[in-house]
Chain A
Amino acid sequence: MDGVSEGDSSSDGGGGGGETSLQPVEPGYRHVLRARLLLLWLPLVIAGLVFDNGMLADTPFYGAVSVAVPLVAILVVILAPDRIYRRLRYGLTDRLLQVVRGWLFHTDTIVPFVRVQHLDVTRGPLDKTFGTATLVVHTAGTRNSIVTVPGLAPGRAAEIRDIIREHIRTDFE
């Protein structure tokens, strides 16, 4: 099972190895993102209000933080999830998995199935609430040892996991 060092066995399967046709994840993932951002920004807003009223009360800047931080928080919570969701795409061919995300810092990751070491499907409380799941793909690489595909429908995540698992098995035969 020394999959890393002996990973050079080839698995023919056509597919060309090129770019895949990319598809979006579940729309419900936007709500997951929104809830997550809310949980991140809520303490910041509270801290900002406390800081402003406690420390800056006697300075000419009094009030600026109380307005600015909630404003940024509201903008982020409203705008960011849609943008992140729109930029997040994943694709499968019969040999590889592709995950594309981000615009400001754009990454486009490709993992050949035969390189996958093991697979997780995880569902946190937010995922359960909004009906999504995250597929976690572990490779042996030091960089990129964990590649995640968030926001999948649980059935779809399991399906992809089974597709990839099939390839891991055939590689060792």
Chain B
Amino acid sequence: MSPDDRAVGEAERLHPLFLISGLGTSLRGMAGGYAFIAYLAVSGQTWTALVAAVLLLAFLVGSLFVYWTRFEFRVGSSEIRIDSGIFSRTHRSIPFDRIQDVDISQGPLARLVGIAKVKFETGGSSAPGRDEGVLHAIPLERAEELRALVRARRSAGGEAAPTAVEIQQLPVFAMNLGRVLLAGVFNFSLALFAGLIGATETFGEVLGFDPLSREFWLGLLNAGDPIADYILAHRVAAAVAGAALLVLIGLATGIVRTVLREYGFRLDRTEVGLRRRRGLLTRTDVTLPARRAQAAIVGTGPLREPFGWRDLRLQSLASDEGGGGDHVLAPLARDAEVGTILAELGWRPLSPAIDWKRVSSAYVWILALGLAPLLLVAALAALEAPSFALAAAVIVGLLVIRWRGWRRTLYALDDDRLLIRSGWWRRRTVVLPKARIQSIDLTESFVSRWFGVAGLAFGVAGGSGFSAHVIPAVPRESARALRRQLLVLGS
């Protein structure tokens, strides 16, 4: 049956406002052009720069317009067809059977005028940034119609009329503004903090102190004579004020970022899984089919754990909006709420009576062995030049963190799933169903062999490449036994 034989619906176009909303995206993608124009402007050729800017804008608007006129989509009886492209035309057909779900997101402008971006989630593992089926701007009602249509086809083989999407009106999990703000407080970014300290290197005078300069510390440490005392008093005051300012900026940034992203966070139950809505300016509406979940990750941190706060993410075949690997199911939640969400997905909650096993202390010793020569060199050098004491302190700090991390690195076999707990700073508990393990690596190196330990690494689909699931150092025989158990029950 050729595509033309199918009953294909009427051709539809993107909303004309795509010309404006699309322009923003195009403008963001023209970094090279800006650099060129900036170069022209700086090198004194102001007129050329202006002309170049106008030409660039005209080119962008023109190409967007042509793209818009050449972009059509049709909703047929069994598939959605998207025809696009200016010179090389692409006719893409996406069968309803292959569409896992429809994600809808709206930017601030789109919300004002009632249009939405629609993304068809297919199972294909296309590279990030390469969209399989995206309609950039269509009216919101049409987007919701499409979603209802896709769901109806999927659930009833193309026969049933669109049914009510939500089974129950009460959300599975929701965050009020207070909770969102609290999440923002915990979202205080250390990376940002480090970045700000780096910035004070450059703009140090503004803050009145520069913790990376040697004079600052010499001034602090060589107290004693009245002049030094005077300077010291001012330095300390300036340093305290500067640090407070940094903390405030860090807090404010964390809160603003979190509120923008998580405002009105709400999870609802649907026929296939969970539906998540969130966002203050850009509102997104994403469905997470339970079948596609590969692993659940319950995270917490040294600050959040004492208060009993967790976050819950789901490693899934689809990547979350914004390029993040895992789907956030709850940015800040209590244990009971995490249990409720997991139960919604058909997963047992974590029982407190789990027989956790600790990994071997070789996990610490191997790092200590590796760092010992460095530490020795740094300590010897510190006798000559005190600034090397900082390097030694960093190395000791790394070891202490590893040691703290070791005490929290645990694993357990919980019936049909594997639980891995790890980390001191980023505390994670990974719930990995055996059936989702794609491959198991048992790794040894010439160092770990002395300690008689081996690492286990699990291949799991989805997620970002950096979040591999690993049990670092297990006595060799236990590692083999564990692998045997996982494979017997897993497949």
Give me the interface of A with B, judged by CB distance under 8 Å: 2, 4-8, 10-11, 16-19, 95-96, 103-115, 139-145, 147
Inter-subunit contact A6/B291 (CB<8 Å) = yes
Chain A residue contacts of B317, Cβ below 8 A:
4-5, 140
Q: Of A8, A16, A108, A141, which one neighbours B438 at CB under 8 angstroms?
A: A141
Q: Is B136 an interface residue (CB 8 A)?
A: no
Q: List 7 A-B contacts (CB under 8 A).
A: A2-B123, A4-B123, A18-B484, A105-B446, A115-B438, A140-B438, A142-B468
Q: Is B368 an interface residue (CB 8 A)?
A: no
Q: In the complex, A113→B439 CA distance in Å? A: 10
Q: Report if A104-B438 is in contact (Cβ < 8 Å); known contacts: A96-B487, A114-B491, A143-B458.
A: no
Inter-subunit contact B443/A141 (CB<8 Å) = no
Q: Of B291, B433, B439, which one neighbours A139 at CB under 8 angstroms?
A: B439
Q: Of B435, B484, B487, which one neighbours A8 at CB under 8 angstroms?
A: B435
Q: In the complex, A82→B464 CA distance in Å? A: 37
Q: Is B330 an interface residue (CB 8 A)?
A: no
What is the total of A-B residue contacts with beta carbons within 8 Å?
117
Inter-subunit contact B484/A19 (CB<8 Å) = yes
Q: Is B462 an interface residue (CB 8 A)?
A: yes
Q: Report if A142-B462 is in contact (Cβ < 8 Å); known contacts: A5-B291, A108-B442.
A: yes
Q: Is B465 an interface residue (CB 8 A)?
A: yes
Q: Report if A142-B459 is in contact (Cβ < 8 Å); known contacts: A11-B491, A106-B444, A107-B441.
A: yes
Give the size of the chain B interface in residues (CB under 8 angstroms). 39
Q: Of A6, A11, A95, A139, which one neighbours B459 at CB under 8 angstroms?
A: A139
Q: In the complex, A103→B462 CA distance in Å? A: 30
Chain B residue nearest to A13 (CB atoms) is: B491
Q: Is B383 an interface residue (CB 8 A)?
A: no
Chain A residue nearest to B491 (CB atoms) is: A112
Q: In the complex, A111→B469 CA distance in Å? A: 16
Q: Is B488 an interface residue (CB 8 A)?
A: yes
Q: Is B460 an interface residue (CB 8 A)?
A: yes
Inter-subunit contact B488/A142 (CB<8 Å) = no
Separation in Å of the A47 CB from the closest CB of chain B? Answer: 29
Chain A residue contacts of B468, Cβ below 8 A:
142-143
Chain B residue nearest to A145 (CB atoms) is: B459
Q: Is B480 an interface residue (CB 8 A)?
A: yes
Q: Is B202 an interface residue (CB 8 A)?
A: no
| Extra pairs beyond A95-B491, A139-B439, A144-B459 (14, CB < 8 Å) | A4-B123, A6-B291, A7-B435, A8-B436, A17-B488, A18-B484, A104-B445, A105-B446, A109-B439, A110-B441, A110-B442, A110-B487, A111-B438, A141-B458
Inter-subunit contact B459/A141 (CB<8 Å) = yes
Separation in Å of the B415 CB from the closest CB of chain A? Answer: 14
Separation in Å of the B347 CB from the closest CB of chain A? Answer: 13
Q: Is B483 an interface residue (CB 8 A)?
A: yes
Inter-subunit contact B491/A141 (CB<8 Å) = no
Chain A residue contacts of B463, Cβ below 8 A:
142
Q: Of A8, A18, A104, A140, which one neighbours B461 at CB under 8 angstroms?
A: A140
Q: Report if A144-B441 is in contact (Cβ < 8 Å); known contacts: A7-B436, A17-B487.
A: yes
Chain A residue contacts of B440, Cβ below 8 A:
109-110
Q: Of A106, A143, A147, which one neighbours B460 at CB under 8 angstroms?
A: A143
Q: In the complex, A140→B436 CA distance in Å? A: 10
Interface string of B135-177 (1 = CB under 8 A from A): 0000000000000000000000000000000000000000000
Q: Report if A144-B443 is in contact (Cβ < 8 Å); known contacts: A5-B317, A19-B484, A139-B459.
A: no
The 3 residue pairs across chains A and B that have the minimum distance between CB atoms: A141-B459, A8-B435, A141-B438
Q: In the complex, A8→B293 CA distance in Å? A: 12
Chain B residue contacts of A145, Cβ below 8 A:
438, 459
Inter-subunit contact B461/A4 (CB<8 Å) = yes
Q: Report if A143-B457 is in contact (Cβ < 8 Å); known contacts: A104-B445, A106-B443, A110-B439.
A: yes
Inter-subunit contact B490/A112 (CB<8 Å) = yes
Q: In the complex, A6→B461 CA distance in Å? A: 12
Q: In the complex, A32→B34 CA distance in Å? A: 50
Q: In the complex, A108→B439 CA distance in Å? A: 10
Q: Is B292 an interface residue (CB 8 A)?
A: yes
Inter-subunit contact A107/B442 (CB<8 Å) = yes
Chain A residue nearest to B489 (CB atoms) is: A17
Chain A residue nearest to B449 (CB atoms) is: A106
Separation in Å of the A11 CB from the closest CB of chain B? Answer: 7
Inter-subunit contact B461/A105 (CB<8 Å) = no
Separation in Å of the B96 CB from the closest CB of chain A? Answer: 14
Inter-subunit contact A108/B443 (CB<8 Å) = yes
Chain A residue contacts of B292, Cβ below 8 A:
4-5
For window 237-278 of B, CB contacts with A under 8 Å fall at: none
Residue from the set A7, A10, A103 with the largest chain B CB neighbour count within 10 Å: A7
Chain B residue contacts of A142, Cβ below 8 A:
459-465, 468
Separation in Å of the B435 CB from the closest CB of chain A? Answer: 4
Q: In the complex, A17→B484 CA distance in Å? A: 6
Inter-subunit contact A10/B442 (CB<8 Å) = no
Chain A residue contacts of B459, Cβ below 8 A:
139, 141-145
Q: In the complex, A16→B469 CA distance in Å? A: 24
Chain A residue contacts of B460, Cβ below 8 A:
141-143
Separation in Å of the B180 CB from the closest CB of chain A? Answer: 30
Chain A residue contacts of B443, Cβ below 8 A:
105-108
Inter-subunit contact B446/A104 (CB<8 Å) = yes
Chain A residue nearest to B456 (CB atoms) is: A108
